């Protein structure tokens, strides 16, 4: 009895706070980041950029949450769902199970989950064809390497990250077949995203063994790879966000996964009322993935390389060239 | 054969880098526990020092200022722990864990407030980091067979704190076993009553031991954020404080065995990185999950099979109270 009363008081207090903040607009979106945080210069930061763009366009503020451990996924989802959020955008493959559980419990709340597929009537799932973007950066690595040896460092060993590796390898093979390929994974738990020391050590070991370009798909841990590349005077390839600016001249290119577009689109759709549940795949064709070319790496990508990349891109878009996928990695196609 | 030799050297170099923070933290724990204070707060002190060092280095652009800030932060935390467990006779595990939890939350919060990069400090470069030092002739000797690669890969090319660590291990051993202070320090961890009877202050000795532990642990944090890494990232100590504690127990509270235990942990860690994705004869490619498990399996096996009986300092963890 006492507990119920306490809860009632709490929710009353919450609703007062909410109604004050909700005065600006009636649409109340929430963005939940994955472990690593919204300033990881990579995956989560892309989500933040998308949400910020939406905020700048519409003036609608969004609430956000950065979990410290995987046990907080479900708590956070429940807490925001209970507080009458209109749309909860959860970015990260780790949210799959938590979103499934919470979406069932709150059928009136809309959920958008990025990188995972949840088949429920109030959930929109957005995944990317990372293998297509990784194919292109694999081609770049193969065209650029001087030691004929390229490397890959993944964060947590999950099918999603294996998909980056698969595309990267296939892209490199597409250019030339004689390359040596070295791969490492930082770990098998979510803490693998947050261990730049370990990632740097793996990168040092790869560079010492003759690798001269490493593609890291490891969230914040990837910063360790970039730092190791800078120390060794070798190349690194960034991931998710455009990381070329992090270390100009060291970051050869970045495999951009436009989580910002996905988050922005979900927010805008929910506001207009065009939001639909179901599964969307963002690929090379609709600009969901691509390699980054800007002033920081313009001197590293020659026109001949660019021509080859454009040719391959056209072939992938037309379906002439099929980039392989990894079983269980949520491609949905 | 030559490939195997080169690979081994790379593994050894990687082991030395990985083991540096472990050795420093392990020695810190050792100094504290030999004096009778259990120091489970190594993790927090390491993280606190890493944060302070990265912050000071980012602001001033000098790794040496970072070093000072890191040492000072860890020293303050160590003395706080000392105050709780020596003067106030509080529970040492609780105090240590409190330090771990407070720092794990406070460091990213402060970093977020100061740098607005979500709990990270800016990436450090140039003079704000302790970069790898190439010893003289490392380049020119690299082509000499056998000795050349050994010199250029393993001995040369570490940061200055790693070289300092090499000197610190014998220094701590000498202090513990060859000086009067060391004798008293060990005595105060075994039988504080006897030390007290001899007219020496137990509290003062324990405070001194904790100060040394604080400085050593601070150095391990500094090497994390300004030597091996380039800036502070939340939870970057990743359990190394606890691992160091395990290495110290495994090393039976003695400096050289502790060093060896840390090197072993570093080696299996380097080895698992090297074994990933490599096809071994007969077995084929080993799954990543298995290679990542390897350090822990090895630790359990060694602890269970070879380490023998562990005897902690008798008065470790017990606050000293004079009989009234």
Of B119, B230, B270, the CB nearest to A37: B119
Name the minimum distance, in Å, from the CA of A120 to any CA of chain B. 32
Residues 6+ apart with CB under 8 A from A282: A126, A127, A128, A129, A258, A261, A262, A288, A289
Residue B118 with chain A: CB contacts under 8 Å: 37-40, 66
Residue A185 with chain B: CB contacts under 8 Å: 276, 288, 292
Same domain, A264 and A198: no
Of A194, A195, A204, the CB nearest to B14: A204
What is the interface size between A and B, counted as CB pairs within 8 Å?
85
Chain centroid to Cα B41, Å, comes to 12
Asked if residue A247 has pLDDT above 90, the reply is no
A328 in a structural domain: no
Residue A199 contacts residue A153 (beta carbons within 8 Å): yes
* Residue A205 to residue B236, Cβ atoms within 8 A: no
Reported as a single tens digit per residue, the pLDDT across A126-145 is 999 999 999 999 999 999 99
Name the minimum distance, in Å, from the CA of A290 to any CA of chain B. 26
**Which strands, in side-by-side order, build the sheet including A123-128?**
A63-65, A29-32, A87-91, A110-114, A123-128, A278-282
Q: What is the dihedral of CA B102, B108, B113, B114, to 10 degrees?
A: 110
| Alpha-carbon radius of gyration of chain B | 21
Residue B294 with chain A: CB contacts under 8 Å: none
Q: Write the CATH number for A122.
A: 3.40.50.2300
Could you tell me if A223 lies within 8 Å of chain B, comparing CB atoms? yes
Q: HEC string of A111-144?
A: EEEECCCCCCCCEEEEEECHHHHHHHHHHHHHHH
Nearest to A138 by CA among A214, A190, A192, A75: A214
Give SS3 for A292: coil
Question: Could you give the CA distance from residue B141 to residue B278 in angstroms, rounded to a whole number?
Answer: 30
Instruction: Report how many domains make up chain A.
Output: 2
* Residue B123 to residue A209, Cβ atoms within 8 A: no
Same domain, A235 and A266: no
Of A66, A205, A224, the CB nearest to B10: A205
Quick one: pLDDT at residue A1?
46
The structure tokens listed for B126 are 């140039």
A333 in a structural domain: no
A325 in a structural domain: no
Question: Could you give the CA distance from residue A196 to residue A214 in angstroms, rounded to a whole number?
Answer: 14
Q: Which residue has the tokens 């529970």?
A: B91
Residues 6+ apart with CB under 8 A from B132: A231, B157, B158, B159
For A135-162, b where at least 16 C-beta lie within 10 A, e where not — what string?
bbbbbbbbbbbeeebbbbbbbbbbebbb
* Residue B119 to residue A39, Cβ atoms within 8 A: yes
Residue B316 contacts residue B36 (beta carbons within 8 Å): yes
The structure tokens listed for A224 are 């360790």
Could you tell me if A184 lies within 8 Å of chain B, comparing CB atoms? yes
Question: Could you give the CA distance from residue B219 to residue B241 in angstroms, rounded to a whole number?
Answer: 12
Residue A222 contacts residue A237 (beta carbons within 8 Å): no
Q: HEC string of B10-64?
A: HHHHHHHHHHHHHHHHHHHHHHHHHCCCCCCCHHHHHHHHHHHHHHHHHHHCCHH
Same domain, A33 and A90: yes
Reported as a single tens digit per residue, the pLDDT across A167-219 is 999 999 999 999 999 889 998 887 788 888 899 999 998 998 889 999 999 98
Same domain, A246 and A296: yes
Residues 6+ apart with CB under 8 A from B261: B26, B246, B247, B248, B250, B251
Is the pTM higher than 0.90?
no
Question: What is the pLDDT confidence band of residue A29, given thresholds at 50, 70 and 90?
Answer: very high
Mean pLDDT of chain A: 86
Of A182, A200, A231, the CB nearest to B131: A231
Same domain, A206 and A169: yes
The structure tokens listed for A9 are 């008081």
Residue A153 contacts residue A209 (beta carbons within 8 Å): no
Residues 6+ apart with CB under 8 A from B227: B20, B129, B130, B159, B160, B161, B162
Count of helices and strands (H, E) across chain B: 13, 2
A327 in a structural domain: no
Residue A221 contacts residue B120 (beta carbons within 8 Å): no
Residue B106 with chain A: CB contacts under 8 Å: none
* Residue B230 to residue A185, Cβ atoms within 8 A: no
A214 vs A137, A171, B270, CA distance in Å? 10, 14, 18
Question: Could you give the CA distance from residue A52 to residue A48 in angstroms, rounded to a whole number?
Answer: 6
Nearest to A325 by CA among A123, A164, A113: A164
Residue A282 contacts residue A127 (beta carbons within 8 Å): yes
Same domain, A99 and A112: yes
Residue B234 with chain A: CB contacts under 8 Å: 37, 194
Please give the span between the terminal C-alpha atoms of chain A, in angstroms, as a whole number.
51
Could you tell me if B230 lies within 8 Å of chain A, comparing CB atoms? yes
Q: Which residue has the tokens 């950065």?
A: A66
**Which residues are B284's β-sheet partners?**
B280
Quick one: pLDDT at residue A20?
44
Same domain, A139 and A94: no
Of B117, B125, B277, the CB nearest to A182: B277
Could you tell me if A42 lies within 8 Å of chain B, comparing CB atoms? no
Name the minimum distance, in Å, from the CA of A45 to any CA of chain B. 10
Pick from A148-152, A226-230, B145-149, B257-261: least confident: B145-149
Could you tell me if A204 lies within 8 Å of chain B, comparing CB atoms? yes
* Residue B131 to residue A197, Cβ atoms within 8 A: no
**Which residues are A124's β-sheet partners?**
A112, A278
Could you tell me if B238 lies within 8 Å of chain A, comparing CB atoms? yes
A332 in a structural domain: no
Residues 6+ apart with CB under 8 A from A202: A153, A184, A186, A225, B273
The structure tokens listed for B58 are 């980012």
Phi/psi of residue A11, nearest 5 degrees = -70, -30
Q: Which residue has the tokens 């204070």?
A: B37
Same domain, A182 and A308: yes
Residue A202 with chain B: CB contacts under 8 Å: 273
Residue B20 contacts residue B166 (beta carbons within 8 Å): no
DSSP string, A53-67: HHHHHH----EEE--
Residue B73 contacts residue B273 (beta carbons within 8 Å): no
Name the minimum distance, in Å, from the CA of B321 to any CA of chain A. 41
Of B117, B131, B276, the CB nearest to A185: B276
* Residue B238 to residue A197, Cβ atoms within 8 A: yes
Same domain, A167 and A301: yes
Task: pLDDT tens for chain B, 324 residues: list them.
Answer: 567 788 888 889 889 998 999 999 999 999 999 998 999 999 999 999 999 999 999 999 899 999 999 999 999 999 999 999 988 888 889 999 999 999 998 998 898 888 877 678 888 887 888 888 887 777 777 777 777 778 877 888 888 999 999 999 999 999 999 999 999 999 998 888 888 888 889 999 999 999 999 999 999 999 999 988 888 888 888 888 998 998 888 888 899 999 998 998 888 888 887 777 666 666 677 777 777 777 778 777 877 776 667 778 888 888 887 764
* Neighbour count for residue A89 (Cβ, 10 Å): 31
Q: Which residue has the tokens 């490392």?
A: B138
DSSP string, A48-100: HHHHHHHHHHH----EEE--SSTTHHHHHHHHHHHTT-SEEEEESGGGHHHHH
* Residue B120 to residue A39, Cβ atoms within 8 A: yes
A198 in a structural domain: yes
Nearest to A150 by CA among A183, A186, A176: A183
Question: Could you give the CA distance from residue A317 to residue B271 in angstroms, rounded to a whole number?
Answer: 42
Domain boundaries, position A167: 131-257+291-318
Name the minimum distance, in Å, from the CA of A191 to any CA of chain B. 8
Same domain, A217 and A277: no
Same domain, A232 and A178: yes
A122 in a structural domain: yes
Could you tell me if B131 lies within 8 Å of chain A, comparing CB atoms? yes
Reported as a single tens digit per residue, the pLDDT across A272-322 is 889 999 999 998 988 889 999 888 888 898 999 999 999 999 999 998 888
Residue A162 with chain B: CB contacts under 8 Å: none
Chain centroid to Cα A43, Å, comes to 4
Of B123, B228, B292, the CB nearest to A197: B228
Could you tell me if A191 lies within 8 Å of chain B, comparing CB atoms? yes
* Residue A39 to residue B118, Cβ atoms within 8 A: yes
Reported as a single tens digit per residue, the pLDDT across A73-90 is 999 999 999 988 889 999
Could you tell me if B119 lies within 8 Å of chain A, comparing CB atoms? yes
**Which residues are A154's β-sheet partners?**
A185, A217
B 271-300: CB under 8 A from A: 273-274, 276-277, 288-289, 292
For chain B, list the domains and their CATH numbers: 2-129+142-305 (1.10.3470)
* Neighbour count for residue A299 (Cβ, 10 Å): 9
Same domain, A89 and A188: no
The structure tokens listed for B3 are 């490939």
Residue A19 contacts residue A13 (beta carbons within 8 Å): no
A330 in a structural domain: no
Nearest to A272 by CA among A88, A87, A46: A87
* Residue B132 to residue A209, Cβ atoms within 8 A: no
B 13-52: CB under 8 A from A: 13-14, 17-18
């Amino acid at each position: 009895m006492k507990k119920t009363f306490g809860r009632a008081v709490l929710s009353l207090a919450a609703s007062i706070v909410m109604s004050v903040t909700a005065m600006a607009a009636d649409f109340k979106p929430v963005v939940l980041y994955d472990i690593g945080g919204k300033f990881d210069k990579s995956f989560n930061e892309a989500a933040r950029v998308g949400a910020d763009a939406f905020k700048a366009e519409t003036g609608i503020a969004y609430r956000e949450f950065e979990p410290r451990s995987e046990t907080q996924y479900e708590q956070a989802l429940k807490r925001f769902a209970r507080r009458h959020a209109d749309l909860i955008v959860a970015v990260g493959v780790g949210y799959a199970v938590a979103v499934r559980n919470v979406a069932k419990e709150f059928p009136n709340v809309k959920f958008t989950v990025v990188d995972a597929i949840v088949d429920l009537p109030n959930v929109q799932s957005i995944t990317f064809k990372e293998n297509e973007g990784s194919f292109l950066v694999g081609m770049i690595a193969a065209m650029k390497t001087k030691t004929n040896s390229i490397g890959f460092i993944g964060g947590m060993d999950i099918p999603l990250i294996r998909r980056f590796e698969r595309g990267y390898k296939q892209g490199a093979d597409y250019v030339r077949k004689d390359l040596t390929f070295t791969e490492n994974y930082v770990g098998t738990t979510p803490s693998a995203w947050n261990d730049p020391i370990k990632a740097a050590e793996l990168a040092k070991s790869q560079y010492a063994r003759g690798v001269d370009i490493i593609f890291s798909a490891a969230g914040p841990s990837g910063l360790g790879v970039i730092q190791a590349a800078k120390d060794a005077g070798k190349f690194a390839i960034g991931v998710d966000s455009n990381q070329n600016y992090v270390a100009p001249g060291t970051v050869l290119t970045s495999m951009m996964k436009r989580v910002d577009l996905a988050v922005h689109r979900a927010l805008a759709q929910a506001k207009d009322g065009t939001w639909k549940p179901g599964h969307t795949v963002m690929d090379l064709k609709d600009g969901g993935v691509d390699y980054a070319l800007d002033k920081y790496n313009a001197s590293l990508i020659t026109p001949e390389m660019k021509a080859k990349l454009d040719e391959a891109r056209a072939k992938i878009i037309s379906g002439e060239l099929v980039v392989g996928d990894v079983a269980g990695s949520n491609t949905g196609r | 054969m030559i490939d195997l030799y080169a690979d081994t050297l790379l593994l050894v170099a990687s082991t030395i880098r990985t083991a540096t923070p472990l050795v420093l933290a392990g020695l810190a724990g050792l100094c504290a526990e030999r004096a009778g204070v259990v120091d489970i707060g190594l993790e927090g002190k390491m993280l606190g020092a890493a944060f302070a060092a990265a912050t000071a280095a980012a602001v001033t652009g000098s790794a040496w200022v970072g070093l000072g800030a890191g040492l000072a932060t860890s020293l303050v935390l160590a003395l706080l722990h000392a105050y709780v467990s020596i003067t106030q006779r509080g529970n040492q595990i609780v105090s240590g864990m409190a330090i771990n939890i407070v720092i794990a939350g406070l460091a990213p919060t402060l970093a977020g407030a100061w740098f607005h990069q979500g709990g990270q400090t800016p990436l450090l470069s140039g003079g704000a980091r302790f970069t790898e030092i190439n010893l003289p002739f490392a380049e020119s000797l690299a082509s000499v067979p056998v000795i050349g690669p050994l010199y250029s890969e393993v001995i040369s090319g570490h940061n200055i704190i790693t070289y300092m660590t090499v000197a610190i291990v014998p220094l701590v051993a000498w202090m513990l076993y060859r000086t009067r202070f060391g004798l008293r320090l060990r005595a105060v961890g075994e039988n504080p009553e006897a030390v007290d009877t001899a007219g020496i202050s137990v509290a003062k000795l324990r405070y001194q031991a904790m100060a040394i532990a604080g400085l050593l642990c601070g150095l391990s944090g500094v090497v994390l954020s300004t030597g091996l890494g380039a800036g502070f990232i939340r939870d970057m100590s990743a359990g190394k404080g606890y691992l160091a504690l395990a290495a110290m127990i495994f090393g039976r509270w003695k400096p050289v065995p502790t060093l060896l235990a840390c090197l072993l942990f570093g080696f299996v860690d380097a080895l698992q990185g090297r074994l990933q994705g490599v096809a071994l004869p007969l077995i084929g490619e080993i799954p990543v999950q298995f290679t990542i498990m390897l350090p822990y399996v090895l630790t359990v096996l060694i602890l269970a099979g070879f380490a023998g009986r562990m005897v902690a300092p008798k008065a470790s963890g017990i606050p000293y109270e004079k009989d009234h």
